[in-house]
Amino acid sequence: MGAVAFTGNYNEYFGFATDVEAVVYLMLVNDLIHGLFPEAVSIGEDVSGMPTFCLPTQDGGIGFNYRLHMAVADKWIELLK
């Protein structure tokens, strides 16, 4: 099976395979956290490289402050083995 890469087409992230309810849940939780505790920091683990992951919900993003991109961590684990 070949590697899958992001081609720049947003349909790869916002198409029929997207779990819309999960994305909306993450947006609502981040909006609630930052509304109640403006100084709070939220970090989301991401393996897909999803665009808008770290944009504020007011700007149409998912609302995380930082992204923990697991591909880098997984590569280090692979190299250390």
Question: For residue range 12-42, what is the model confidence (pLDDT) as tens digits?
Answer: 777 777 888 999 999 999 999 999 999 999 9
The predicted pLDDT at position 50 comes to 83
CA distance 22 to 8: 22
Give the containing element (helix H, strand E) for 67.
strand 66-69
CB within 8 Å of 61: residues ≥ 6 apart: 27, 52, 53, 54, 55
Any idea where the domains of the chain sit in the sequence?
Answer: 10-80
Strand 43-46 relative to strand 66-69, pairing? parallel
- Which of the four pLDDT bands, split at 50, 70 and 90, describes residue 3? low
CB within 8 Å of 60: residues ≥ 6 apart: 52
In tens, the pLDDT along 45-60 reads 887 778 889 999 999 9
* Contact of 44 with 26, CB cutoff 8 Å: yes
Is the pTM value of this prediction over 0.85? no
pLDDT (average), residues 56-65? 95
